[in-house]
Structure 1
Amino acid sequence: MLDLTANNLHGGLTTQALANLSTLQVLNLGDLRFNGSLPFQGVCKMKQLEVLDLSGGNAFEGTLDACVANLTLLRVLDLTGNMLSGSLSAHLISSLTLLETLSLSDNSFEGIFQLNMLANLSKLKVLELADMNSETFQLQTETSPWNASFQLQELEFTSSELNSPAKTLPSFLSSQTSLESVDLSENNLVGSFPSWLLLNSPKLKSVYLNSNSFTGSFELPFDLNHHHHHMDQLETLEIANNKIQGELPRNIGVFFPNLSSLDVSNNKFGGQIPESIGEMGSLNSLNLAINNFSGTLHDHILNGCLSLTNLFLDNNQLNGTLPSFTNLPNLSFLTASRNNFQGSITKEFCGPRFFMILDLSFNNLSGTLPSCLNMSTLNLQGNSFTGKIPEASTNLWVMINLSGNKFTGNIPESMYNLPHLWYLLLAGNELQGQISNQICQLKNLQLLDLSHNNLSGFIPSCLNIQISEEMEGMTESIPGVSSRIVHIISMMQLIIILYIQQMQKVQFTMKSSPLQYQGYILEDMSALDLSSNQLSGEIPYQIGDLFVLHSLNLSNNHLNGSIPKSFKNLQAIESLDLSNNRLSGQIPLELQHLNYLSVFNVSYNNLSGRAPEQAQFGTFGDSSYKGNPYLSWGVSNRGNAALPPPAPVQPDEVNKDDSAIIDFSSFCWSFAATSVTILLAFLTILWINPYWRRAWFYFIEGLLLKCFGKFLEDAFY
């Protein structure tokens, strides 16, 4: 055995390095950083080899050598996560009759792989052919009739163009009764939802059928008197992003008593949420988002889910009041946006828990914002910590989104005591009062949206949005112990990023139209939106210190004074909207250096002077400046709704007609100056040289006689 797994070895692997290992039985080089060609000539000399694992972290290139077919004692062949290419021949694979594990995922293999070439591999238990980085790879299971001699335990066919173009479910699965894990995600498979796949494999622990096109209903047997009708082993069931309709089975919680993760999001499920879900005592994550579930979410439905950590109910038709969630001490993620929930958020709802994300946006919630949101605590009982626990560890909120409701009153000061808060979204409510300077305590805040409220007063001059001040100072109070807290929080942050990346859309209003940002928000966006309030006073110049700001919207307020020159420091800014205020003075020329600025609006203010025209400002149209009676701006390169956009210039046409890109205003001034210069030069020549002066007069006389001779003759004679 030679096992070098998970080290920092890198570089190439030569045939000479393997030449003398002819009696090796196990070669494990996984999770390294090897690259270059794989030395098959050296590998193939190991006639006794039973395990060949080169998976994960490597980047071996080339094609599978035909000599691999001679390694007839191989039980494990794992080449996952490399850059191997070429086709997979039937001769190469079918001769390895002792194979128990065949993992070739995440390579660049090409062509059609027909599964019937594995028909004689009777010992095969693990089969992974997923996520090929090739446009031509296709996995066909229905090429011709064949009988599988193996009983698989693990099957992974994700993103493999499975049975294209028919997109049918592999028929050989009907005879697989020993499956423990099956993943057929992202193949766009069609047909009715395969409930039989669950019923035929009682040993299943995980099922992933996400991102297909299954239709019909999700049915389970209702006769639960026999033990074999319970799937006690299943822990994960994910069938998101399909077209499944009807209601969830009423007995789903009894049929899957040990389920840890249930994801049925983005389907067409309707009706009420089954009460039997409360029987799932091991349920950790429940995702019912983007469906048509209706009715009231009663307290008792989730009372038995004591392990529930993540609950996603977004985009349904649920109504009534929110449950108190007092019996869910581990709840960390709660998203229920775009429903019809009513009532207020009570203190019982807050409770001491490890909350990270709360999204109740776009409901009909009312009352004042809860003042108990800083009560969330991290349970550190049963340890032997010494010293003082840092206050930062007791407020672990990362995202609060209560936008689009009917909340009234002031923003509670408790929200300013959440030092790890990244996103605070309270837009579209009826909040009043001033923005407290205490908001500047949110040192990790990256996205603040308080737009469309009735907030008044000044914009805090200390406002700051920073990136990567993660957990600063947390390791000072509890040496050696708080690092564990930091690790827990960091892991939760990764989960939050995945949630935002896959589900969450954060919407802002820029230039009177909604813009949606979706994706890896932590690195790609930070935004400040205070638009449509009653804010007054000058714009703090300190906002210019927000170097990573991507969008700033202060429109529709009562702000006065000038546009701060410090805005030149907003080098990442893409959208800047200051419209509908009382700003005066000139637009700073320094803003011309904002190279990423694509949306700029200062309309309906009291600005004066001339607008910048260089760089990005050469693309902004009249709508960016109108409503400023003392402001002038050029007309070249401006957007005009009445004219079609110019055709794109091809690279070989750039130098053919430079006149096409001459600014019209500059052309007029240049033409006038040139004409005056020529006229003065001509008059100077006539004044100095009498010969040319006489010639000029004779020329004019002849021209007059030619044009008006007949008229003059009739007039004088």
Structure 2
Amino acid sequence: MTSLKLLDISDNLFTGNLSSYLLQRLPSSLEFIDLRHNNFQGLYSFSYIGNYSKLEVFMLTGYKDKLQIDAQSLGWSNPMFQLKALVLSDLSISSIPEFLFHQRWLRVIDLSHNKLKGEFPVWLMQNNSNLKFMNLRNNSFAGQLIYLPSYQMHMVWLDLSNNHFIGKLPKDIGDKLPNLQYLNLSWNQLGGALPSSLGSMQDLFGLDLAFNNFLGEVPKELLTSCTNLQQLLLSHNKLGGKFFSSEFNLSNLMRLELNNNEFTGNLSNVKIETLAILDVSNNNMTGPIPTWINTVSWAISMRNNSFEGQFPCQQLMSPLFFLDLSHNFLSGPLPSCIDFTTIVEIHLEGNKFTGLLQDFLPNSSSSLSVLNLKDNSLSGFIPDLIGTFLNLKILLLGNNHFKGLIPEALCLLENINKMDLSSNSFSGTIPSCLQNLSFGVIENYGETLAQHLISYDILFTDQNRMYGDLLKKNLNFFIDVEAIGVSEIYLVNKNIGSSYKGKTLNFMSALDISCNDLTGEIPQELGTLTHIHALNLSHNQLMGHIPIPLSKLANIESLDLCCNNLIGKIPPELANLSFLAVFNVSYNNLSGEIPLPMMKPQLTTFDKSSYEGNQFLCGPPLEKSCINDIETPSLKSSPSDATKGKWYEIDLTAFLASFWPAYLVFFLLMVSLLCINPHWLRSLYFVDHYHSKLVTTFKIWCYSRYQVVEAF
């Protein structure tokens, strides 16, 4: 194909080596080569494309570090071509290829997801005055952004995120890049105040400055002039002040993330009806929640603020995926306007909500995965309709005023991973049907939301070339939505309250029914929950023995049975729980020796606080010895006996050593008296007759006493 100009084999599953045999035999007429998103492996050299004098577009990406770039080719600097677009992503390149120093026509440069170091390569902008797109995301560039070329008029996309840039932003950044449409400087170490010249970028539709150290107030020029902004991400900085002022003019926002800052004020001064994502969590915002919040169509996160009053339900909320109002001062009934046909996660923890759960839940929901109502003032019973929420993975109802029996309808939640019913007033027994629950690993937690990505087409077409539309197709770039749908779950595990979020939730499973009024025995069936990591049954009125089947909880890390009425011995089989980091059986009525298997002394690795409060328990790590201080519930000594020793504690050697000399002295004394008095001598045959019987009887008595001692 000697006239071939365009070769596009991207987005397939091709494997093997990109050898010189293939690439050097392609026709020299090629202008466009796209090899991205395949499974190529081996070693690749840039010199393979050195002879393509008409080449304008070259795109190559790696796959799981299987495709390596020949280090010597990084120093190759004699190209015959002038590129317009170059994409070299995910190739573990440690230095910028030298042939780039000779390029002057670049419009697109993507060196993202490599291992590039050094200062910001401003020379790429200087050498290529028509550069429109620069992506250096996820490298190791460092230093300050103190200099930008004057009036880089054509630049529309700049992504320098996930690097190590420091210092302040240039004060004139907006004046030098006035046509910028997307700017991403997130995940660096930039600081200082935001320059007011950002307001000069009036074409901006995306600005991401999250995860830096910016401080002060957001410039009013940005909030009033950049009216085309569709996404504004300022989270995880030190910004403050009243963000939503009367001058706020960003009415086209689709995504607004201000979380983890120090913003104050309220939401009543503005009205944004285009929002799909709103995150103002972890700030100092106050006031009521406005009614326009019901128009947000994807995710709402307002946790850890001081919002108050009732949630406005004058109209049905838009079909949300994610709602988090945790840790505010909201009161009244739970929001009744939530659309349960689409909602995946509901977090209302740490407020003052009241009312009954059955008034809040619909008859069923096939989408709900997380229901977090902890730390409120809810009352009544758990309705049986909870069993219809078959996709529920996390159910947190702890620290409310629920009462009654734990319903067996909970046993229908076969996908449950975390269940917290602690600190309520549940009574009755623990349902044995809980064995039906998996408490296994959550698969793909949060990905239900993350799969909805926002993409933008960047129009880098060349109308004079036959491949113009194809180039446009190959430059659709997705904007990451990493943080949305990832909220925190607070659980007590290993006696420590910890927050779990994102992917860490995938590997933590727990059942907590502590601090209730539960009675009866611990069901043997709980031993089938082999995937569970934390089991807390403490502070109840449970009776009976510790079930031996609990030793089958192979993945258990925390087992808390304290403050109940359990009796009997600690099963030595529990020593097989090799992942056990917290074990607490304190303040029960357990007895006997703490198991000390020679091969697996697991239960003796915990301190005495794990066992205290059991009067008849002994052995390490307790100070009470099982040899010298044996005491059982059926045999108690009085306080006065405790200082005198036990009646059965006889030293047999000392007893015999003192008896036989005394016996011999007595015998010789009797013989002497008989020899002196003849009258007594006549009675000697009585002594001779009964002497052997006396000795035999004494030996039998001594032996019986010895057996008693041995028995004790």
- What is the TM-score of this pair, normalised by structure 1? 0.76
Which of residues 88, 95, 107 is equivalent to 2:96?
Answer: 88
**Higher Cα Rg, which structure:** 2
Rounded Cα–Cα distance in structure 2 between residues aligned with 1:597 and 1:495: 39
| Residue 33 to residue 636, structure 1, CA distance change in 2 (3 Å) | farther
Q: Which amino acid aligns with 1:142?
A: I
Name the residue aligned to 1:374: 362
Q: Which amino acid aligns with 2:39?
A: R
| Residue 637 to residue 50, structure 1, CA distance change in 2 (3 Å) | farther
| Residue 407 to residue 69, structure 1, CA distance change in 2 (3 Å) | farther
Q: Which amino acid aligns with 1:45?
A: N
Rounded Cα–Cα distance in structure 2 between residues aligned with 1:498 and 1:527: 26
Name the residue aligned to 1:151: 154
1:224-268: per-residue Cα shift (whole Å, max 9, x none)? 7xxxx461x321111101111111233576x22221111111111
Name the residue aligned to 2:164: 161
| Residue 435 to residue 309, structure 1, CA distance change in 2 (3 Å) | same
SS of the counterpart of 1:47?
coil
Alignment partner of 1:461 is 2:432: yes
Deviation of 1:373 after TM superposition, in Å, equals 1.5
Alignment partner of 1:413 is 2:420: no
- Total equivalences in the alignment: 585
Rounded Cα–Cα distance in structure 2 between residues aligned with 1:612 and 1:407: 43
SS of the counterpart of 1:558?
coil
Query: Are 1:142 and 1:170, in contact at CA under 8 Å, matched by a contact in 2?
Result: no
Name the residue aligned to 1:631: 617
Deviation of 1:409 after TM superposition, in Å, equals 1.3
Deviation of 1:571 after TM superposition, in Å, equals 1.1
Q: Which amino acid aligns with 1:29?
A: L
* More displaced 10-residue stretch of structure 1: 351-360 or 403-412: 351-360
Rounded Cα–Cα distance in structure 2 between residues aligned with 1:466 and 1:331: 28
Alignment partner of 1:262 is 2:256: yes
Name the residue aligned to 1:295: 287
Q: Which amino acid aligns with 2:538?
A: S
Deviation of 1:302 after TM superposition, in Å, equals 2.7
Which of residues 273, 276, 283 is equivalent to 2:267?
Answer: 273
1:612-655: per-residue Cα shift (whole Å, max 9, x none)? 233432311101111112222324999xxxxxxxxxxxxxxxxx
Which of residues 329, 334, 340 is equivalent to 2:318?
Answer: 329
Alignment partner of 1:54 is 2:60: yes
Q: Which amino acid aligns with 2:91?
A: N
Rounded Cα–Cα distance in structure 2 between residues aligned with 1:620 and 1:573: 15
Query: Are 1:191 and 1:214, in contact at CA under 8 Å, matched by a contact in 2?
Result: yes
Where does the alignment leave 5 or more consecutive residues of structure 2 unmatched?
1-5, 454-480, 625-652, 654-712
Rounded Cα–Cα distance in structure 2 between residues aligned with 1:222 and 1:573: 52
Query: Are 1:192 and 1:216, in contact at CA under 8 Å, matched by a contact in 2?
Result: yes
SS of the counterpart of 1:83?
coil
Name the residue aligned to 2:500: 517
Q: Which amino acid aligns with 1:196?
A: S
Deviation of 1:343 after TM superposition, in Å, equals 1.3
Alignment partner of 1:313 is 2:308: no
Rounded Cα–Cα distance in structure 1 between residues aligned with 2:115 and 2:192: 29
SS of the counterpart of 2:238?
coil
Deviation of 1:575 after TM superposition, in Å, equals 0.6
Q: Which amino acid aligns with 2:293?
A: L
| Residue 562 to residue 467, structure 1, CA distance change in 2 (3 Å) | closer
Which of residues 6, 22, 37 is equivalent to 1:31?
Answer: 37
Which of residues 543, 561, 573 is equivalent to 2:526?
Answer: 543
Deviation of 1:44 after TM superposition, in Å, equals 1.7
SS of the counterpart of 1:427?
coil
Name the residue aligned to 1:78: 87
Q: Which amino acid aligns with 1:294?
A: T
CA RMSD of aligned residues (A): 3.0
Deviation of 1:36 after TM superposition, in Å, equals 2.7
SS of the counterpart of 2:82?
coil
Q: Which amino acid aligns with 1:309?
A: W
Rounded Cα–Cα distance in structure 2 between residues aligned with 1:251 and 1:34: 55
Deviation of 1:365 after TM superposition, in Å, equals 1.5
Name the residue aligned to 2:342: 354
Deviation of 1:148 after TM superposition, in Å, equals 5.7
Deviation of 1:80 after TM superposition, in Å, equals 1.3
Query: Are 1:352 and 1:375, in contact at CA under 8 Å, matched by a contact in 2?
Result: no
| Residue 69 to residue 257, structure 1, CA distance change in 2 (3 Å) | farther
Rounded Cα–Cα distance in structure 2 between residues aligned with 1:518 and 1:611: 37
Q: Which amino acid aligns with 1:582?
A: N
Name the residue aligned to 1:286: 278
| Residue 442 to residue 195, structure 1, CA distance change in 2 (3 Å) | farther
Alignment partner of 1:103 is 2:117: no
Rounded Cα–Cα distance in structure 2 between residues aligned with 1:451 and 1:244: 38
Name the residue aligned to 1:608: 591
Alignment partner of 1:40 is 2:46: yes
SS of the counterpart of 1:440?
helix
SS of the counterpart of 1:119?
helix
SS of the counterpart of 1:354?
coil
Q: Which amino acid aligns with 1:204?
A: L
Rounded Cα–Cα distance in structure 2 between residues aligned with 1:34 and 1:147: 41
Query: Are 2:490 and 2:499, in contact at CA under 8 Å, matched by a contact in 1?
Result: yes
Query: Are 2:560 and 2:585, in contact at CA under 8 Å, matched by a contact in 1?
Result: yes
Matches within 5 A, 1:104-119: 104-119=111-126
Deviation of 1:450 after TM superposition, in Å, equals 0.6
Name the residue aligned to 1:243: 238
Deviation of 1:111 after TM superposition, in Å, equals 3.2
Name the residue aligned to 1:124: 131
Query: Are 1:342 and 1:366, in contact at CA under 8 Å, matched by a contact in 2?
Result: yes
| Residue 281 to residue 101, structure 1, CA distance change in 2 (3 Å) | same
SS of the counterpart of 2:519?
strand
Deviation of 1:519 after TM superposition, in Å, equals 4.1
SS of the counterpart of 1:190?
strand
Rounded Cα–Cα distance in structure 2 between residues aligned with 1:488 and 1:56: 27
Name the residue aligned to 1:504: 488
1:576-631: per-residue Cα shift (whole Å, max 9, x none)? 10100111122222211211110110111111222223343231110111111222
Deviation of 1:103 after TM superposition, in Å, equals 0.7
Name the residue aligned to 1:138: 142
| Residue 635 to residue 330, structure 1, CA distance change in 2 (3 Å) | closer
Where does the alignment leave 5 or more consecutive residues of structure 1 unmatched?
377-393, 472-486, 639-675, 677-717
Alignment partner of 1:556 is 2:539: yes
Deviation of 1:505 after TM superposition, in Å, equals 3.2
Deviation of 1:431 after TM superposition, in Å, equals 1.1
| Residue 230 to residue 177, structure 1, CA distance change in 2 (3 Å) | closer
Name the residue aligned to 2:189: 188
Deviation of 1:123 after TM superposition, in Å, equals 1.2
Q: Which amino acid aligns with 1:634?
A: P
SS of the counterpart of 1:358?
strand
Name the residue aligned to 1:653: none
Rounded Cα–Cα distance in structure 2 between residues aligned with 1:503 and 1:170: 35
Rounded Cα–Cα distance in structure 2 between residues aligned with 1:436 and 1:517: 27
Deviation of 1:556 after TM superposition, in Å, equals 0.3
Deviation of 1:172 after TM superposition, in Å, equals 4.5
Q: Which amino acid aligns with 1:246?
A: G
| Residue 160 to residue 325, structure 1, CA distance change in 2 (3 Å) | farther
SS of the counterpart of 1:16?
helix
1:391-420: per-residue Cα shift (whole Å, max 9, x none)? xxx432111111111111111223222111
Deviation of 1:138 after TM superposition, in Å, equals 2.1
SS of the counterpart of 2:410?
helix
